[in-house]
Structure formats: C-alpha cells, structure tokens
Amino acid sequence: MTAFEVLDNPDAGRFELQRDGELVGYAVYDERAGVLVVPHVETIARYRGNGYGARLMEGMLGIIRSDKRRITPLCSFAAGHIDDHPEHHDLLA
C-alpha cells in the first residue's frame, strides 16, 4: 500500500508531498504575518499526471486551516485548485 504524507518544511519554505518517504511534489511559500504567499507548486516530472498536485494542495490547505493561517496563491495551479474547491475559499487572504 502506498503511503502519502504532506509535510510543512518551514526551513525550506515549502510544503512537501512524499510518497513512501520520497519527495514527489512541493509548494514553495513565503509566510507574511500568518499568510502564506504561494508562488510555485510543482510535481516532480516523472510523477506528473497522477493527481499528486491536487493531493499536495489538499494536504497543504488542511495544514493551513488547522494552523489558522491563510493563503495567497500566486501560482496559477494553486489558484485554480482553490477556485475549483469552494470549501477552501475562506482560506484566501
């Protein structure tokens, strides 16, 4: 069984999606007063097309919600994902 985990790596300034301990995607951010500005989301090339970007976004948004932070998505992928999921609109700064 494949295990996925989304981790906040504040030292690297990014959220990371790991599959069985291997990095498969990440979302770069800069935190400003509790708002995460996200300029870039990427899935590692060989893993693209498997829905990992959406999995990363859902995990990241869950962490942001639980930490009572907000998000400003500058990346078109991140913005599109949030636009497509109204349940996350309240997280927008």
DSSP three-state, residue 54: helix
Tokens representing 38 are 């996200």
Question: Considering the entire predicted model, what is its pTM?
Answer: 0.94
Q: How many residues does the chain have?
A: 93
Map out the domains of the chain as residue ranges: 4-86
Tokens representing 80 are 């599109």
CA 50 to chain centre: 15
Domain 4-86 has CATH 3.40.630.30: yes
The 10s digit of each residue's pLDDT in 3-51 is 999 999 999 999 999 999 999 999 999 999 999 999 999 999 999 999 9
Q: What's the pLDDT band for 1 if we cut at 50, 70, 90?
A: confident
